[in-house]
Amino acid sequence: MSTKNKLQHFAENLTFDNLFQMSYEEVILGFPLAGKWAADFFKNNHEIILELGCGKGEYTVGLAKRNPDKNYIGADIKGARLWRGLKTTQEENIKNAAFIRTRINLIEFYFKPNEISEIWITFPDPHARDVVEKKRLTSPQFIERYRKILKPGGIIHLKTDNIILLESTLDTIREYNHELLEVNYNVYDGQPENELTQIQTHYEKMWLKHGTKIKYLKFRLNPVFN
């Protein structure tokens, strides 16, 4: 994407009423919708599902369209990517989807305890080298952040092309006694048509063209710690 297009997208992002972007200081002092997303923004009492590292928002938008009785929020630091999801919600009048421009290590400040029902993590940077494994969005360090906002029994979904990320997440699940609900090493191998196959991200389409198998798992946090 050219610098000109990025600047245009950044400018248009300021016009969307379902995008929230604040400075670090503002977020730390208190995000005004924390604990009030459903009542004050979505104007309902539906459960909230969060997508982390949402990129262009394919899953946030796709799931919102499939499930109008639920609220969806996508979070990513890349404003130019978020523009695509925001634009789609505007063009298609999708009212149950919103976006936050933020680093994921600040996500706990945007919500109150028990406010999120599920988390989707779709094709994150795998941080394959051991020296940066703490940056993985399914590392124990990040899971601790999610624990602060997930409801008891809340589910975390991971969809990835990267086997190292999948296996490291499985190791974390075992080590911390989380409940593994499902693991699939190739979601396109004879599986029924559902959100795993009918919604595809930009990166997923790229990997599929190279014949890469798409992996998926979901788990529930250990209730002792939740």
List alpha helices for 14-160, DSSP H. 24-29, 58-66, 79-91, 140-147
Amino acid at 20: F
Instruction: Give the separation between CA 125 and CA 127, rounded to whole angstroms.
Output: 6
Interior angle at CA 19, CA 29 and CA 112, nearest 5: 40
DSSP state of 129: S
Amino acid at 64: A
Is the distance from CB of 118 to CB of 154 less than 8 angstroms? yes
Residues tagged active-site: 125
Residue with tokens 């974390």, as numbered in its chain: 172
